Amino acid sequence: MNIGNGNITQALEQCKQDLENFKNAKVKCGIIGRSGTGKSSLINAIVGEEVSAVGEIETTMKISEPIEHKGLLFYDLPGSSTINFPMDTYIETMGIKNFDCVILVTSDRFFEDDLYLITEIAKLKIPVFPVRTKLDFSIDRALKRGITEEETYNSIYADLKKSLENYNVKGIYLTSADYPTRYDLNKLLDDISNSLNSIKRERFIADVNVISHNLLKEKRDLSTKLISRYAALSAANGLNPIPGLDISVDLGLLYKMSTDIQEIYGLKKEQIHYSSTLLGDNKSKVIVAKAVQFASKYIGREAILLLLKKAGMGFAKKEISKWIPFVGQAIAAGLGYKMTSSIGDEMLTDAEDIASQTFEAIKGV
Ligand SMILES: Nc1nc2c(ncn2[C@@H]2O[C@H](COP(=O)(O)OP(=O)(O)O)[C@@H](O)[C@H]2O)c(=O)[nH]1
Ligand SMILES: [Mg+2]
């Protein structure tokens, strides 16, 4: 049974490397804007979790540690128009050259110092994404004066477009932290993810909130890849025997697989809590219950072992034990792979189902 062993070793090495890359990738995102423009709210809306305190006034104008959400690092930076940060040293002082992208935030329009920054950052070949926050607020105000939502959107967009006409920006994004699925937040996330290399891109797709159908699809593609990497390694590592079967898997890896999927689809407690605040108690009840159910079915070594036992019963047990002595571990590992990946697929379908329901519910708010 030597056929293709070299290739198998190579393929497993690749799986291991891909998982390491996924685990260690960091996406560094500078987020620049005056205090009160909605930077913290925007960060929270992007990741779908309250990672940055909202309404906190920045009194000390110092460079803070990044706000971290798994592989995403947000450097929350004050605008350059303060006496503490003279414009000519701003880029240097803030370490902007190390960022993967910069989001430039305003809640009204862009001023001279913003435009200066765009020019300077573009020189470093770092993509700049200008964001106009609190669109809901502008729309509500205009509605009271008989102006439609569409008219408000179009006129704000046109004004910004005009002011940014001669500047090298990736687009113009109108957003509301209270309505993350409306307006341009999804376009912002698509455009940022497309500006990243493939390793950082996987991380970004995994760590952002589910706010569009496109992201659901991207998350599915990524999860499918992760599951097959985890399943292959878990079967090859074969550390933990599955009771009643002559098959061993690496439960630690499967445990990682399930927590990855849980987080990618926003089903962790803190993530569900964030969705619940957008939805209100009543509408989030079912979703909260489903997330709890998901955790008890898939998270933890005991839970996974139980799933494996059940899956094992599906494979004619006698058949497996009859063949293993003759063809050895290769077949056992093959079956281990089949079982773990089938559990992964089931988990993925369940997670996607809950995330998609949550997304639809938020859209309906
Ligand atoms: N209506 C509305 N209010 C927002 C939005 N984003 C932020 N806010 C509010 O604006 C204030 C400042 O927001 P925050 O995110 O702390 O801004 P930061 O100082 O730039 O981090 C808070 O009261 C937020 O609730 C938004 O999209 N819509
Ligand atoms: Mg803030």
For the stretch 99-157, pLDDT in tens is 999 999 999 999 988 998 999 999 999 999 999 999 999 999 999 999 999 999 999 99
334, pLDDT greater than 90: no
* Helix, strand or coil, per DSSP, at residue 266: coil
Centroid of ligand 1 to alpha carbon of 36 (angstroms): 6
Give the position, in ligand 1's atom list, of the atom nearest the Cα of 140: 1
Residue from 51, 52, 54 to probe ligand 1 pocket by mutation (most atoms less than 8 Å from CB): 54
Give the position, in ligand 1's atom list, of the atom nearest the Cα of 41: 15
3, pLDDT greater than 70: no
pLDDT reported for residue 1 = 38
Between helix 269-279 and helix 329-363 the angle, nearest 10°, is 20
Centroid of ligand 1 to alpha carbon of 204 (angstroms): 23
How does pLDDT run across 29-87, given as a tens digit for each residue? 999 998 899 999 999 999 999 999 998 876 555 667 899 999 999 999 887 665 566 77
Centroid of ligand 2 to alpha carbon of 175 (angstroms): 16
326, pLDDT greater than 60: no
CA distance 175 to 187: 10
pLDDT reported for residue 210 = 97
pLDDT reported for residue 18 = 96
CA distance 36 to 172: 20
Centroid of ligand 2 to alpha carbon of 219 (angstroms): 28
List all residues 6 or more positions away from 156 whose beta carbon is below 8 Å from its beta carbon.
132, 135, 138, 174
The residue that leads in pLDDT, 13 or 242, is: 13
CA distance 275 to 277: 5
Centroid of ligand 2 to alpha carbon of 38 (angstroms): 7
H/E stretch holding 69 reads: strand 67-69
CA distance 236 to 316: 21
Give the position, in ligand 1's atom list, of the atom nearest the Cα of 54: 16
pLDDT reported for residue 311 = 82
Centroid of ligand 2 to alpha carbon of 237 (angstroms): 45
Retrieve residue 305's tokens.
Answer: 């072992």
Q: Is 178 in the pocket of ligand 1 (CB under 6 A)?
A: yes
Residue from 41, 178, 274 to probe ligand 1 pocket by mutation (most atoms less than 8 Å from CB): 41
CA distance 41 to 327: 58
pLDDT reported for residue 2 = 41
Q: Is 137 in the pocket of ligand 1 (CB under 6 A)?
A: yes
Measured from the Cβ of residue 243, the count of other Cβ atoms closer than 10 Å reads 9
How does pLDDT run across 243-257, given as a tens digit for each residue? 777 778 999 999 999
Q: What's the pTM? A: 0.93
- Are the C-beta atoms of residues 303 and 259 closer than 8 Å to each other? no
pLDDT reported for residue 32 = 92
Which ligand gives the minimal distance to the CA of 39? Answer: 1
- What is the mean pLDDT of the segment spanning 274-279? 96
Quote helix, strand, coil % in the chain, to nearest 5. 60, 10, 30
CA distance 78 to 64: 10
pLDDT reported for residue 238 = 85
Centroid of ligand 1 to alpha carbon of 333 (angstroms): 52
- Are the C-beta atoms of residues 216 and 355 closer than 8 Å to each other? yes
CA distance 180 to 100: 23
pLDDT reported for residue 288 = 97
pLDDT over 70 for what percent of the chain? 90
- What is the mean pLDDT of the segment spanning 186-197? 98
Q: Is 38 in the pocket of ligand 1 (CB under 6 A)?
A: yes
Domain ranges of the chain: 26-206, 210-363
H/E stretch holding 25 reads: none
Q: Which of 70-74, 137-141, 264-268, 334-338 has the lowest mean pLDDT?
A: 334-338
pLDDT reported for residue 56 = 82
- Are the C-beta atoms of residues 189 and 215 closer than 8 Å to each other? yes
CA distance 196 to 193: 5
- The architecture of the domain spanning 26-206 is 3-Layer(aba) Sandwich (3.40)
CA distance 55 to 156: 24
Which ligand gives the minimal distance to the CA of 52? Answer: 2
CA distance 363 to 277: 14
Retrieve residue 247's tokens.
Answer: 């098959």
Q: Is 50 in the pocket of ligand 1 (CB under 6 A)?
A: no
The residue that leads in pLDDT, 302 or 56, is: 302
CA distance 250 to 242: 10
CA distance 339 to 310: 10
pLDDT reported for residue 17 = 96
- Are the C-beta atoms of residues 134 and 38 closer than 8 Å to each other? yes
pLDDT reported for residue 134 = 98
Residue with tokens 């046109």: 158
The residue that leads in pLDDT, 292 or 240, is: 292
How does pLDDT run across 213-233, given as a tens digit for each residue? 999 999 999 999 999 999 999
Centroid of ligand 2 to alpha carbon of 248 (angstroms): 49
| CA 182-188-193 angle, 5° bins | 130
Q: Is 59 in the pocket of ligand 1 (CB under 6 A)?
A: no
- Are the C-beta atoms of residues 127 and 104 closer than 8 Å to each other? no
Retrieve residue 31's tokens.
Answer: 């987020």
Q: Is 53 in the pocket of ligand 1 (CB under 6 A)?
A: no
Rounded to 5 degrees, φ, ψ at 233 are -65, -40
CA distance 96 to 102: 8
Rounded to a whole number of angstroms, the distance between the first and last alpha carbons of the chain is: 59
